[in-house]
Amino acid sequence: SAVISQKPSRDICQRGTSLTIQCQVDSQVTMMFWYRQQPGQSLTLIATANQGSEATYESGFVIDKFPISRPNLTFSTLTVSNMSPEDSSIYLCSATGSTYEQYFGPGTRLTVT
């Protein structure tokens, strides 16, 4: 199994600012993903973080708003840019291990005021 840590665990930010969330995995993994959970909603996939190349974004999410980096096999960052109150969510990093398993970090709880 993989152990995933995220920083920060929570933050309160002013609208118009940006926040970068870091995700560290304790072993090399193939795929890394970023999800968010808005209040009362499902966990929704934002993008797949690709090592050494641009992330693959899901419908409704764009690179200018959610730039993602993945410089190596164990680390990724997600930036939430030009934040508004609608960006208040829990943001989770995940990674795939074996063929079926997908592991999650503890999440970053973001509140935008």
Partner 1 sequence: ILNVEQSPQSLHVQEGDSTNFTCSFPSSNFYALHWYRWETAKSPEALFVMTLNGDEKKKGRISATLNTKEGYSYLYIKGSQPEDSATYLCAFRNFGNEKLTFGTGTRLTIIP
Residue numbers at the binding site for partner 1 (CB under 8 A): 4, 9, 31, 33, 35, 40-45, 48, 92, 96, 100-107, 109
CB of 16 vs partner 1, minimal distance in Å: 27
Residue 23 or 80 having the CB closest to partner 1: 23
All residues at 6 or more sequence positions from 50 whose CB lies less than 8 Å from its CB, including other chains: 56, 70
Residue 17 or 56 having the CB closest to partner 1: 56
CB of 43 vs partner 1, minimal distance in Å: 4
**CA–CA gap between residue 107 and residue 6 (Å, rounded):** 6
Residue 13 or 45 having the CB closest to partner 1: 45
Residue 62 or 82 having the CB closest to partner 1: 62
**Cα atoms found within 13 Å of the Cα of residue 15, Cβ hemisphere only:** 5
Give, in order, the Cα–Cα distances in Å from 86 to each of 5, 9, 27, 32, 56.
Answer: 25, 19, 34, 24, 22
CB of 52 vs partner 1, minimal distance in Å: 17
**CA–CA gap between residue 28 and residue 80 (Å, rounded):** 25
CB of 113 vs partner 1, minimal distance in Å: 21
